[in-house]
Amino acid sequence: MLARWLPAAINTRPTEWSRAAIGMALGTLFSVWACSQVFGIEVAYHLMGPLGASAVLLFAVSSGALAQPWSIIGGYLCAGVVALLVAHVLGRTLGSACLAAGMALILMCWLRCLHPPAGAVALTMVLADPTTIAMDWKALEPLMLSAACMLLAALAYNNLTRIRYPKRPAEPAPAVAPVDSQAITAEDLKLALADMEAFIDVTPEDLEQLIHASELHARRRSIGQVFR
């Protein structure tokens, strides 16, 4: 029972951890600096929490659907608009902030731009500092500027360090003659993901590629055992 609480191994090397960590630090620094130059340091500091969370996704797990450009831009915009609407109607309270976060989640799902740090954006924009509150609807400007700067930093750093970003559409997996009628197809993977009824940050195309790669490694292992 206790073993189920143990964390799973991370399938990346320490060099990748270092690469992502440097990118996160540089991206967050650039975003906060750019925002502070235009809107002041108080407003920029107020947005640091969500930006740091976004940086983890954009630099450490940039291949995930939650870290793509439309996710961060759309997610921040949804959260910002919903938060300001709720603040105007219900006031700036803890309850209204939590309501804004929940409403932002529904809107992000509908617009296919789910981005977890946007939940923090909604809370932050409702329970804002006095300088941000005084900006009223113009508070969307520093929010979107910060998101755009973080995205630009991720585009530049990831590609300079040989990590393709944004994620490109997966190429079709090579056709393999099925051994029997129970061979897994891309349509089967889509149906399986739908059956799970949960947020899973992976596409059917990625799963198909993973399965074919696993099959290739299994064939190599079996061939190696035959020739031993």
Residue by residue, DSSP assigns 78-90 as HHHHHHHHHHHHH
Do residue 153 and residue 181 come from a single domain? no
Asked whether residue 204 is domain-assigned, the answer is yes
**Predicted confidence band at 204 (pLDDT cuts at 50, 70, 90)?**
low
Task: Name which residue leads in pLDDT, 12 or 63.
Answer: 63
How many Å apart are CA 48 and CA 145, to the nearest integer?
13
Q: What is the mean pLDDT of residues 163-169?
A: 83
Do residue 30 and residue 143 come from a single domain? yes
Q: What is the mean pLDDT of residues 106-118?
A: 96
Residue range of the domain that includes 222: 170-228
In the listed set 118, 136, 160, which residue is the last one of a domain according to the structure? 160
Asked whether residue 7 is domain-assigned, the answer is no
Please classify residue 147 by burial: count the beta carbons closer than 10 Å to its beta carbon, then call 0-12 exposed, 13-18 middle and 19+ buried: buried
Residue with tokens 């923090």: 120
Asked whether residue 3 is domain-assigned, the answer is no
- Lowest mean pLDDT segment, chosen from 93-102, 107-116, 187-196: 187-196
- Residue 195 pLDDT greater than 80, yes or no: no
Buried b (16+ CB within 10 A) or exposed e, 7-39: eeeeeeeeeeeebbeebbeebbebbbebbbeeb
Contact 31, 153 (CB under 8 A): yes
Asked whether residue 105 is domain-assigned, the answer is yes
Asked whether residue 178 is domain-assigned, the answer is yes
The two three-digit tokens of residue 166, written as one number: 């944004």
Per the confidence metrics, is the pTM higher than 0.85?
Answer: no
Do residue 85 and residue 50 come from a single domain? yes
**Predicted confidence band at 46 (pLDDT cuts at 50, 70, 90)?**
very high
Task: Name which residue leads in pLDDT, 129 or 170.
Answer: 129
**pLDDT score for 177:** 47
- Residue 138 pLDDT greater than 90, yes or no: yes
Sign of the Cα torsion 64, 69, 73, 78 reads negative
What's the mean per-residue pLDDT of the chain? Answer: 86
Contact 83, 126 (CB under 8 A): yes
Q: What is the mean pLDDT of residues 49-65?
A: 94
How many Å apart are CA 122 and CA 40, to the nearest integer?
20
How many Å apart are CA 39 and CA 111, to the nearest integer?
29
Domains contained in the chain, number:
2
Do residue 144 and residue 58 come from a single domain? yes
The two three-digit tokens of residue 68, written as one number: 């793509």
Give one word for 162, left, alpha or beta, with left for phi > 0 and alpha for psi -120 to 50.
left
Peptide bond into 178 cis (omega under 30): no
Q: What is the mean pLDDT of residues 34-54?
A: 95
Asked whether residue 9 is domain-assigned, the answer is no
In the listed set 160, 194, 218, which residue is the last one of a domain according to the structure? 160
Q: CA Rg, the chain, in Å? A: 21
**Predicted confidence band at 218 (pLDDT cuts at 50, 70, 90)?**
confident
Share of the chain above pLDDT 90, in %: 65
The two three-digit tokens of residue 105, written as one number: 């989640």
Asked whether residue 136 is domain-assigned, the answer is yes
- Number of neighbouring beta carbons within 10 Å of residue 71: 26
Task: Name which residue leads in pLDDT, 114 or 178.
Answer: 114
Asked whether residue 210 is domain-assigned, the answer is yes
- Residue 8 pLDDT greater than 50, yes or no: yes
